[in-house]
A and B are shown apart, each in its own frame.
Chain A
Amino acid sequence: TQLLEQSPQFLSIQEGENLTVYCNSSSVFSSLQWYRQEPGEGPVLLVTVVTGGEVKKLKRLTFQFGDARKDSSLHITAAQPGDTGLYLCAGAVTSGTYKYIFGTGTRLKVLA
């Protein structure tokens, strides 16, 4: 069974601080996605990383896919209250089946 563990589970920081969220697995994924979910809403896709070692930037957010495609990280620079939400990673399973396995989630709160 493929599992994606995210750490930390909860994070409360002050506006302007930097943070990193980790997504780890013992399984190899064909690709990995990061989503953000706000209260009362469904998750919204932030980025997809496909190649081992790939780094993608989205404004203040930097996403990295591990060389072995088993882990990923999300780094936020100068966090803002608008970054508050539940961050989910999702790994694509393509051997025998086609689906995404979601991580356990990191709940981020950025205080003004």
Chain B
Amino acid sequence: KAGVTQTPRYLIKTRGQQVTLSCSPISGHRSVSWYQQTPGQGLQFLFEYFSETQRNKGNFPGRFSGRQFSNSRSEMNVSTLELGDSALYLCASSSVGRGDIMNTEAFFGQGTRLTVV
């Protein structure tokens, strides 16, 4: 079956603009998580959606938001972009139910590389 698809793959924006990134999970997966990856900070958890509800949230400012649609596709939005938002944004999907995280495999997309200039 098809893997996790993230669009676009590359994006260049200027400071102050906003951006929307898209993630289509593996068919049947209801959980979608977003991560920011930078050389200095590594992989940091942004938030997770399950059945259209935000279930977990990391320590990012309110400029970072997301949503999930009824077909499990998810979007992430960053408003008022800053230079420090330049990163690889990764989306991961899994089939996990709330109590099953211990053995859950997260399937990652290739990511969207965002450059803020």
Say if A and B assemble together. Answer: yes
Q: List the interface of chain A (C-beta within 8 A of B).
A: 30-31, 33, 40-45, 48, 50, 88, 92, 94, 97-105
Interface check B32, CB cutoff 8 A: no
Q: List the interface of chain B (C-beta within 8 A of A).
A: 4, 33, 35, 42-45, 48, 55-56, 58, 90, 92, 96, 98, 101-111
- Residue numbers in B under 8 Å from A105 (CB-CB): 42-43
B92 adjacent to A42 (CB under 8 Å) = yes
Known: A31-B101, A42-B111. 14 other contacts (CB 8 A): A30-B102, A41-B108, A42-B108, A42-B109, A43-B43, A43-B90, A43-B108, A45-B105, A45-B106, A45-B107, A88-B42, A92-B102, A94-B101, A101-B45
**A-B residue pairs in contact (CB < 8 Å), sample of 24:** A30-B101, A31-B102, A41-B110, A41-B111, A42-B110, A43-B43, A43-B108, A45-B106, A50-B103, A92-B102, A94-B101, A98-B48, A98-B96, A98-B98, A98-B101, A99-B33, A99-B45, A99-B48, A99-B56, A100-B45, A100-B101, A102-B35, A102-B42, A103-B42
- Residue numbers in B under 8 Å from A101 (CB-CB): 45
- Residue numbers in A under 8 Å from B105 (CB-CB): 33, 45, 48
A98 adjacent to B45 (CB under 8 Å) = no
Residue with the greatest number of chain A CB neighbours at <10 A, chosen from B48, B98, B108: B108
Q: How far is the CA of A42 from the CA of B44 in the complex (A)?
A: 14
Secondary structure at chain A's binding surface: helix, strand, loop or mixed? Answer: loop
Q: How far is the CA of A111 from the CA of B55 in the complex (A)?
A: 43
Partner of A42, one of B4, B45, B103: B4
